[in-house]
Each structure stands twice: as C-alpha cells, then as structure tokens.
Amino acid sequence: MSDTEQGGDDLSSLQKAAVLLMSLGESDAAQILKHMGPKEVQRIGQSMAQLANVQRHQVEKVLDDFLVLVGDQTGLGLGADGYIRNMLKEALGEEKAGSLIDRILLGGNTTGLDTLKWMEPRAVADVIRYEHPQIQAIVISYLDSDQAADILSNFDERVRLDIVLRVASLETVQPAALQELNSILERQFSGSQGSQSTSIGGVRTAANIMNFIDSSVEADLMESIRDVDEDLANTIQDMMFVFDNLIDVDDRGIQAILREVESETLILALKGADPDMQEKIYKNMSSRAADMLKDDLEAKGPVRVSEVEVAQKEILAIARRLADAGEIMLGGGGEQMV
C-alpha cells in the first residue's frame, strides 16, 4: 500500500499515528513512545519508515484536532531514517533503540531476556525451540499474552500442550533460574540482562495466552489439556475472557473501549456477536451512531468466521490493555477506576 497515493481520509489509523509523531518533532514524539509497549512502538516505527512524500494537505487533515498550524518544516518523507533513529534512541535508550532500529530499517535481531518482547514470535520460537520445556514455559510466561500465543503457534500440538500445562503450574521464578535463562539466551545471541525474583506464569497466564490463540488451535489444545487434567481445563476455561463476556463490562467501560475501536473492526466483531451483546454496544453509542452501525451491519455481506474472530480478539486486546491500565474493569461489578 503506497502512502504517496493516499489522501488524508485514506490513511489507516496506524499511518495517521505515524504522521502525527513525525510532525511533533523528535523530543515530543519520543515522550509519547515511552508510554507505548514494544509491539506498538515497532508497528508505528515500521509505518514511519514506510512513509514517503506525504503531502501537506494530508498532514493538516490528520492533525486537524491536534495542531493549529502545520509549518513547512515537517520533514515527512525526507531523511526519515535519521529521524527515526534519533527519536527511538531518546525514547528507549541506546541499547533497546539499536535493536529496534535494526529490525525496522535493516531487518536485524535483538538481544537479552527483556528484549525478547521486541522480537518477532517466530524468532523467539526459534531461540527456545531446543531448550528444556521448563525454560520454554518461563519464556512464554514472561512475554505478553498475545505474543506468547503467536509463539506457541510455531510449535506442534504436543509441544504446545506441554508448555501450556507448565505455564499453568508456574508461580514464581527465583534469580538463579532467571540467570540460567539469561545464560542460555546469551549462547543464542550476545547480550546480558540483570535478574530478579518475580511472579510469573500460573493458571491465569495460561488462560490469557489461550485467549489469543487461533480458535481452531484453541479448541484442540483445550481438549488435550482436559485429557490430562480436567479440573485444570475447567479452571482455565472459567478464566478465559471471550468477546461476549464484554456484556458484563459497565457502560463507562464499554464507552472507553469503543473510543479506541475502528468502525470496520466493530462491524466485523458484531457480525458474530450475540444479539444481547449487540444491544449492549448500541446503547453505549449516540442514537445516530447506533443507527449507522445497524445499517452498516445489515449492509455487510457474509464474512468469514476467521475475520470475525480476528476482529473480536482485537477488541478484547484493547479491553485488556485498558483494564491493565486501571481505566476499566472487566467482568462487571466494582467501581470504575480513575
């Protein structure tokens, strides 16, 4: 998809974020990036690297709600590599930025236990593929659930089952174990990280990972867990948070989620949602917006189940991020966090 051929209205949300950051200047953009996770920084960094010849009217369209005036010195599409390097170094520090810059601009690799979060899932799977299953489980537990799920997809069914069972049984990892893990990783690639005792793994971690696994794989994996330990399978199932569980989120929480969901994603997600869940969404929108959404749903032709599942998981990821930040509460009940 070429950025040079698009008007402001045709830019994706990710591309708009890239335009915004590149318009702010390196220091301000770096301050924003400090509040983002590894995957968000990587995606926006890649989008910035791909921007070329962005026109002034496109910038003004994207920044309409943020800037009173856009000057001639935006520099978009000119010297983007140098801009990205300086901005990421200020935001992340020399070491982390170096590894991310290599991957965005040069396709390089990363180092260290913490920076596994900056690696592609397939690369992490290759690093731990021949390590002891307990090491694999520690690594999987250490990473974000969506990345962990993607990593598991690179293993066969038997290995996935073993890892998930071990993740569910983990509680804490002592410094010696983390030091051993760092030593193993250092044999794979250069770099070292400090270690400290930390809570890691557990049934909830296993359930969170299961939430992100592809539905077809998830069903088989859950059945395999049930064959090994039915009580554990039931506990994991109870802790898994699926799209229709959003009906238990209070209205303020739903409204917070909707503010971050793109309309096309919401349409796809609701195509496969329970009618009660659809009504929950409608009542947390303005009458005009709800009517438009209903019309869009009716006009939307048949879609693949896989597309619906991807859209629903994207919304669930937003919900979990907001919940982790204390902005909403999942599961209903309780007081809104502020």
In the DSSP assignment, the letter for residue 64 is: T
Q: Kind and range of the H or E element at 172?
A: strand 172-173
Which residues have a Cβ under 8 Å from the Cβ of 312 and sit 6 or more positions away? 242, 243, 268, 269, 272, 273
Q: What is the band of 72 on the pLDDT scale with cuts at 50, 70, 90?
A: very low
**Secondary structure of residue 199 in the 3-state scheme:** strand
pLDDT digits (tens, 9 = 90+) for 252-294: 999 999 999 998 999 999 988 888 999 999 999 999 999 999 9
Is the pLDDT assigned to residue 66 strictly greater than 70? Answer: no
175-213: string of b/e by CB count within 10 Å (b at 16+)? eebbbbbbebbeeeeebebebeeeebbbbebbbbbbbbb
Q: What is the CA angle 23-24-25, rounded to 5?
A: 100
pLDDT digits (tens, 9 = 90+) for 151-190: 998 998 899 999 999 989 887 777 766 676 766 666 655 5
What pLDDT, on a 0 to 100 scale, did the predictor assign at position 197?
A: 43
Is the pLDDT assigned to residue 302 strictly greater than 90? Answer: no
100-129: string of b/e by CB count within 10 Å (b at 16+)? bbebbeeeebbbbbbbbbbbebebbbebbe
Which of 30-39, 109-118, 299-308 has the largest mean confidence? 299-308
Strand partners, 112: none
Which residues have a Cβ under 8 Å from the Cβ of 332 and sit 6 or more positions away? 248, 249, 250
- pTM > 0.95: no
Delineate the domains of the chain, giving CATH numbers in brackets: 3-108 (no CATH), 116-239 (1.10.220.30), 243-324 (1.10.220.30)
Q: What percent of the chain has pLDDT over 70?
A: 68
Q: What is the band of 16 on the pLDDT scale with cuts at 50, 70, 90?
A: confident
What pLDDT, on a 0 to 100 scale, did the predictor assign at position 199?
A: 59
Q: What percent of the chain has pLDDT over 90?
A: 11
How far is Cα 180 from Cα 178, in angstroms, rounded to an integer? 5
What pLDDT, on a 0 to 100 scale, did the predictor assign at position 282?
A: 93
Is the pLDDT assigned to residue 84 strictly greater than 90? Answer: no
